[in-house]
Amino acid sequence: MVKRYGDFTAVDDVSLRVEAGDFFGFLGPNGAGKTTTISAIVGLARITSGSIEVFGYDNVTQWREARRFIGLAPQEYNFDRYLSIRDVLIFQAGYYGLAPRLVRERADELLEQFGLQRHAKLEYTKLSGGMKRRLTLARALVHDPKILILDEPTAGVDVELRLELWALLRRLNAEGMTIFLTTHYLEEAEALCRNIGIIRAGRLVALEPTRDLLARAGRGLQDIFLELTRA
């Protein structure tokens, strides 16, 4: 895919395939094109050329089908400030076509799973940073997607919650969920991802299994990342 904003090329001929069930890490420095790529996959950005398929559905011509498979946990908190956090989940499921009576139980399960059930009636502005991060993930999962796209899911959370989220992501992946993760924490990518893509200035500079990437250089991911992104 290619994505241009006027004269500026944000994503330049990036071509990659994430297999179903994969835990894929998409890494790159700030402004490299990670969030633009994610925005294009979920339909928030319109690609200039190329195509994106989600489980066989083109995300432009078959957008309804494609979007139903995707759960997005964005980097910024963008909850509806007029809703309680329980309603944030129920209304989000509603936008995916799931009637409230069908998702109330699912919403309660997710609140329980993410330790938010005590705060179910609060607005999101009353939550701590860690709780907001959990709510972001719960909302992404409420319609039972097949691929979870995570944009910096552990940014700004403490070590305990980070490890908790890692365990959750591993479990979801083990249960068959495909995960597409962007992160600035390279140890996170090293610990979680089976395959890694590295993007620099809109171009893909590496795309291989994490194990091979680490073995190739015989060093840590940080050294490889710096070498590839500074060049």
Partner 1 sequence: MIARINHVAMLTLIRREMVRSIKIINQVIWPPIITTLLYVFVFGMALGSRIKQVQGVSYSEFLIPGLIMLQVIDSSYGECSSSVFQGRFMNSIQEMLIAPMSAGEIVFGYVLGSLVRALVIANIIMVLGVIFVHTLPRDWVLYFGVMMLVAVLFSALGVIFGLLAEKFDHIAVLTTFAITPLVFVGGVFTSAQLLPPFLRNFELFNPMFYTIDAFRYSYTGQSYLPLWLSLTVIGGLACVSLGTALRMAAVGYKLRT
- Site residues (vs partner 1, CB under 8 A): 5, 39, 42-46, 63-65, 67-68, 70, 72, 74, 76, 78-83, 87, 91-92, 94-100, 139
Residue number with CB closer to partner 1 (65 or 109):
65
- Minimum CB separation of residue 223 from partner 1 in Å reads 34
Nearest CA to 153 out of 130, 119, 120 is that of 130
Least separation in angstroms between CB 87 and partner 1: 7
Tokens linked to 70: 């995707």
- Residue 131 has φ and ψ, to the nearest 5°, of -65, -40
Residue reference for tokens 């709510």:
135
Type and span of the H or E element at 3 = strand 3-5
CA-CA distances (angstroms) from residue 11 to 7, 88, 175, 216, 231?
Answer: 12, 32, 32, 26, 18
Closest to partner 1 by CB, 33 vs 213, is 33
Task: Supply the minimum distance, in Å, between the C-beta of residue 98 and partner 1.
Answer: 7
Report in angstroms how near the CB of residue 118 gets to partner 1 at its nearest.
22
Question: In 9-49, which residue ranges form alpha helices assigned H by DSSP?
Answer: 34-42
